[in-house]
Homo-oligomer: A and B are copies of this chain.
Amino acid sequence: MAIRVMFMGLGPIGCAVVKQVAARKGFKIVGAIDVDPAKVGKDLGDVAGVGRKLKVKVSADAAAALRAGKPDVVAHCTVSSIKAAVPQFEAILKARVPVVSSTEELSYPWRANRAAAKKIDDMAKKAKVAVLGTGINPGFAMDALPIVLTGICQDVQKVQVDRVQDASIRRLPFQKKIGATLTPDQFAELVKTKTVRHVGLTESVSMLADALGFKVDRITDEIQPKIATETVKSEFLTVEPGQVCGIVQDGVGYRKNEPVITLHMEAYLGAPETYDEVRIEGSPNLRVRAIGGYHGDVATASIVVNSLPKVIGAKPGLHTMRTMPIPSFFRGTVA
């Protein structure tokens, strides 16, 4: 029996999820919800760029779509803010449907957004279904994966995760988003408006701290510009020395003023190497490097799709990657 999937939110991540679900076996698409008038009423295949009609019209009316589509699960990809997403979860959970969401703040909301987390947990338990927030980051690279690696440790003193990306091979909007060619002053303005901020470091630090039994008394999340020291070029841009070539963002969990969890991100033009690396200081020490890194966009859509069958069978309530069975690719068939 194919899994009946409905989508809520058809931005870039939502559309990437639609494409994967449409391409894989084991799923049947039974509806799509978005508030954008430019998308409502259109065929989902056209909106998501699938390359064929999916014979499913995008609806603005969540309750009606849920009633008509009778989904087994909803793939929710709307906003980063858990508070903004609460009414959306309310609509889905009223229909008693499990949810996998890419909302960053939902990935581990028990510290920074406890009230909203409690509300969603209560609604999910009442509906007797599970809700999960996931993605590549937060949800995997800087939290679930390092936690998995500590499973072979007899002691853990510190965890450091580095995520370094050479932005020169990315799309122009990404290069602009990370501030390439700006002056440091212009970059500071961008930071104030929160346009460049990666959402999720506080959530990842909290998940690690709780999983590893670290009493973290303070979490910081800070952004700095990366300043070019020589001229760096991409296909689209040239950054002169002294200009911003990208961003550095650090999430740190402190125990008695000692950093025990350090999540370090760099994305800039001219980074010599793209990689993700977990270092665990403990017994044994571990150093695990993803050579070439994890592709953010593909990976987030993939882990949302791969989590769809898992959340259907999970215990009712609000889950995180900590409480779910290990992630795995879902082929939808035996081939």
Contacts and interface: CB of A to CB of B under 8 A. Distances in A.
Given A215-B334, A335-B214, A152 B327 contact: yes
Interface string A296-335: 0011011101110000000000000111111111111111
Contacts of A150: 306, 327-329
A136 interface: yes
Nearest to A297: B284
A294 B287 CA distance: 9
B326 A147 contact: yes
Interface residues of A, number: 58
A260 to B, nearest CB: 10
A284 to B, nearest CB: 5
A295 B334 CA distance: 34
A218 to B, nearest CB: 15
Contacts of A323: 325
Which of A20, A298, A324: most chain B CB closer than 10 A?
A298
Interface of A: 20, 23-24, 136, 140, 144-145, 147-156, 211-215, 282-292, 294-295, 298-299, 301-303, 305-307, 321-335
18 contacts: A144-B148, A147-B327, A147-B328, A147-B329, A150-B327, A151-B327, A153-B306, A212-B328, A212-B331, A213-B330, A213-B335, A287-B290, A287-B291, A288-B288, A289-B289, A322-B328, A324-B325, A326-B326
